Amino acid sequence: MMDRLDYPAIGETLYETVLPNGLTVLVSPKPEYAKSYAFFATRYGGAMRRFSLEGRKIDTPAGVAHFLEHKMFDMPEGNALALLSQNGASPNAYTAGGITAYHFESTQGFYENLDILLRFVSTPYFTAESVDKEQGIIGQEIRMTEDNPYFALYYALMRALYDHHPVRDSVAGTVESIAEISPEILYSCHKVFYVPSNMVLCVAGDVDPEAVASAAGRILPSERSAVPEPDYGAPEALTPASARVKLAMDVSAPQFLIGGKVPSPGGGTEMLRQTLICELALRCLVGRSSPFYTGLYAEGLLRADFGYGEDFSCGTAFFELGGESADPGRVLERFSAEVRRVSENGLEREVFERARRADYGLTLRSLGNFQGLCRSLADGAMSGYRFLDVFELSRSLSADDCAEYIRENFAPERLALAAVMPRGPKG
């Protein structure tokens, strides 16, 4: 039987259980919705190149997690993408630093599609020929992303912030590293990471929670396996490895990212709390109604593409903000000045409350986005907290909590600036 958790303040219900094989199953019932969504994820991403399992330390080439994602759709009877599509589903997958996820949305045949999803993700099927072919395909993908200014900018910031943590490197690996990947390596990593005890299944829609759990119990392996422990290397200082990084590319205007590392809370409810405080701090400092944004926008130093966010994963935690600007250095100066002002004077209560309510409302509306909801539920399960607790937690935070976080974590010496500048004339 699944446990039922009710959230009357937001009108939500969540069913959860951990099966005997260790799989976490989360179901968010959405009565009367036409579509249903399934999200099946493993705690395995591009940053997990080195890990230990039952006392053994193992190193793998960069890009294995992403390569596995590409190859997992192969089945002896055909391609799982084609099978799901033929059955009325819209499937996809992605790999990030600490997660690989496979998902689909459908308005019909949900349980049949769920069976296909569970079966192909848990059953590897690789041949030397298909791996050789995929090396060429992913090699082309890597070369294309290297020419993408947004991709280059993000990893320029990662290399500025981190000295050696693997999040500084592309999830896809390099052309050289993927050339080392063999069917044997793929089978070995699948055997280690694609075990129910290292995975989460999240479903949202007009579905029967017990039927979802039953399908997982019927199709997936019944044994409970040991969970691998990622090794990200020695802890890094909170100051950036480089204060500024600049690239020249074929862009029409400078693109920039400002970022800073913050202490990683590890996991549990404290991770949810720290993530929320960081999010609120950014909204107060640089949100669309802030003096920082409205002032720089009026001066033409920021455009509507400006955005911000935070990432707490892979044993790291950092924030970023950026977009297009004629003078990224000036944006950094103004952001630092705003941080100093709040550090000295605190946050106005009405500013914080406006940001908190806006964030609360946006998060509440996001519950109707099944993909985002399932991703958030899975992230929480993998980090030891319940995502829907964020609403009660939000009501417990204060302007002083947010100001203290800014004071402790957003100091100018903790910031790095990465910029992609227009390439000069040739010749």
Structure tokens at 55: 């006392």
Q: Please tell me the predicted confidence (pLDDT) of residue 424.
A: 72
Instruction: Output the pLDDT for position 13.
Output: 97
Which CATH number is 3-230 given? 3.30.830.10
Q: Which of 48, 59, 74, 80 is nearest to 133 (CA)?
A: 74
Residues in the chain with pLDDT values less than 50: 427
CA within 13 Å, CB half, 42: 28
Options 3.30.830.10, 3.90.950.10, 3.90.1300.10, 1.10.150.120; CATH for 244-422 is: 3.30.830.10
Residues 6 or more apart whose Cβ sits within 8 Å of residue 345: none
How confident is the model at residue 426, as a pLDDT?
55
**pTM (predicted TM-score):** 0.95
> What's the pLDDT at 406?
97
Bridge-based pairing state of the strands 74-75 and 56-59: unpaired
H/E element holding 242? none
- C-alpha to C-alpha distance for 295 and 148, rounded to whole angstroms: 30
Residue type, 305: D
Closest C-alpha among 266, 277, 262, 274 to residue 382? 266
pLDDT at 427: 43
Active site residue 413: no
3-state helix, strand, coil in the chain (%, to 5): 45, 25, 30
Q: What gap in Å lies between CA 217 and CA 413, rounded to an integer?
A: 51
How is the chain split into domains, by residue range? 3-230, 244-422
Catalytic-role residue among 16, 69, 236, 324? 69
Whether 244-422 and 3-230 are alike in CATH topology: the answer is yes
Helix (H, G, I), strand (E, B) or coil at 406: helix
- CA pair distance 253, 238, nearest whole angstrom: 31
**How many residues in total does the chain contain?**
427
pLDDT in tens, 271-282: 999 999 999 999
| Cβ atoms within 10 Å of 237's Cβ, excluding its own | 9
Which pair of structure tokens corresponds to residue 50?
Answer: 């080195």
